[in-house]
């Protein structure tokens, strides 16, 4: 919003201030204690008109058509030509208005000897002011283009990030459903009624993924419900040797967050923290303090299972880290402990949603 205001109004205000400065420069002789001829003020008005034309000729044509198209040599030559043309027109106006002789008479009234002049000549103030007009107009147009290019780059970067996030989420969802369907398939061989319950839970989870996550954000309460459904689904195939605990924030204050951000950590725990022969435990805890969320996931380590963040869950955990980098750069901390003193694998995520 602020950049749009600057583009529409800020540069117009700067141009008006520059033109006002040129006008004040030309009106400076009003402070002189000399009666100047009318022709002098006609010339000043004509010079102001020339400078305005030069200012917008440079902004609208010379800079965008030559300088911005890598024709610096041609731009420099065109600049010199325009300065020369302005000076020649100014000198021609001096001659046509007989201004050198009139100015000499104004500065030396009654002295006919000093009123004689050699004719029009290049005015160094006119030369410097003309070059200043070109320099200021070039700077304004260059800064305007730099800002516009920066906005375009920012827009393209947002589009790239949005595309990458969509691609990452599209990878995570099939990965999750592949594992879940595999679990249900195994369950159908044991208990038909329980497998029906699992399919109903899965359909509820699919509705969440298809309809609740399309906006890019979801509420914390819905994300926790989704995790609870996933845990319930996984528990249907677990034996009594596995202990699962899920601690949720109480009271819970809903805040928007990226959907399916916690799932890969929980999925990883069920994939590597369950044994059919040995006792095992999975502990999941979500804590909330203001806009800060903490996810702590722990699972038992077994000698035959090697758990590494980059390799354990394939694309799931790796893509989750990439999503965190894109969505919450500098606003999250992820600590992974391969083996705690309690012989557990631990993933601890601190997320700042402010």
pLDDT in tens, the chain (354 residues): 445 545 556 777 777 887 787 778 777 776 676 777 778 788 888 888 888 888 889 888 888 888 888 888 888 898 899 888 888 888 888 788 777 777 766 666 655 554 445 555 677 888 888 888 888 888 888 888 888 888 877 766 766 666 555 655 555 556 667 767 877 887 788 878 888 888 888 888 888 877 777 777 889 999 999 999 989 888 877 788 899 999 999 889 999 998 888 888 998 898 888 887 888 999 999 999 988 999 999 999 887 654 444 444 445 677 778 888 888 988 999 999 988 998 999 999 999 988
Residue 314: per-residue pLDDT:
45
Structural contact between residues 217 and 256, judged by C-beta atoms closer than 8 angstroms: yes
Which stretches of the chain are DSSP H helices? 2-5, 11-26, 38-57, 63-65, 72-96, 99-107, 124-188, 192-207, 220-235, 263-272, 309-312, 315-327
Q: Would you state the pLDDT for residue 299?
A: 93
Q: Strand 344-352 vs strand 332-337: parallel, antiparallel, or unpaired? A: antiparallel
Dist CA 62 CA 134 (whole Å): 10
Query: Both tokens of residue 161?
Result: 């990030």
d(CA 298, CA 286): 12
User: What does the radius of gyration of the chain's CA atoms come to, in whole angstroms?
Assistant: 38
Tally of CB atoms within 10 A around 117: 16
Place of tokens 């949005």: 162
pLDDT (0 to 100) of residue 183: 75
Phi-psi category of residue 4: left, alpha or beta, with phi > 0 → left and psi -120 to 50 → alpha: alpha
CA 203 to chain centre: 37
């Amino acid at each position: 919003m602020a950049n749009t205001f600057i583009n529409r109004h800020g540069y117009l205000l700067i141009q008006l201030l520059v033109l006002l400065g040129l006008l004040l420069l030309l009106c400076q002789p009003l402070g002189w204690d000399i009666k100047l001829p009318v022709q002098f003020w006609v010339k000043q008005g004509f010079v102001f008109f020339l400078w305005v034309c030069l200012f917008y000729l440079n902004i609208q044509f010379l800079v965008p058509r030559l300088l911005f198209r890598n024709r610096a040599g041609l731009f420099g030559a065109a600049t010199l030509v325009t300065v020369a043309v302005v000076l020649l027109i100014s000198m021609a106006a001096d001659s046509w208005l007989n201004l050198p002789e009139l100015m000499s008479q104004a500065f030396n009234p009654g002295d006919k000897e000093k009123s004689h002049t050699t004719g029009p000549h290049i005015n160094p103030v006119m030369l410097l002011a003309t070059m200043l007009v070109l320099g200021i107009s070039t700077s304004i147009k260059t800064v305007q283009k730099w800002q516009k290019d920066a906005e375009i780059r920012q827009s393209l970067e947002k589009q790239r990030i949005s595309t990458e996030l969509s691609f990452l989420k599209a990878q995570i969802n099939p990965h999750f459903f592949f594992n879940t369907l595999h679990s249900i398939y195994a369950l159908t061989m044991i208990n038909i009624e329980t497998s029906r319950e699992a399919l109903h839970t899965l359909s509820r989870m699919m509705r969440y993924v298809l309809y609740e996550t399309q906006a890019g954000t979801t509420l914390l309460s819905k994300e926790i419900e989704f995790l609870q459904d996933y845990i319930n689904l996984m528990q249907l195939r677990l034996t009594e040797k596995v202990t699962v605990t899920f601690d949720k924030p109480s009271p819970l204050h809903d805040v928007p967050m990226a959907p399916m951000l916690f799932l890969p950590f929980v999925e990883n725990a069920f994939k590597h923290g369950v044994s059919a022969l040995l006792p095992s435990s999975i502990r999941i805890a979500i804590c909330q303090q203001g806009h800060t969320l903490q996810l702590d996931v722990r699972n038992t380590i077994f000698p035959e299972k090697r758990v590494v963040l980059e390799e354990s869950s394939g694309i799931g955990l790796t893509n989750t880290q990439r999503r965190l980098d894109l969505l919450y750069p500098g606003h999250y901390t992820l600590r992974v402990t391969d083996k705690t003193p309690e012989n557990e694998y631990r993933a601890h995520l601190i997320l700042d949603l402010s």
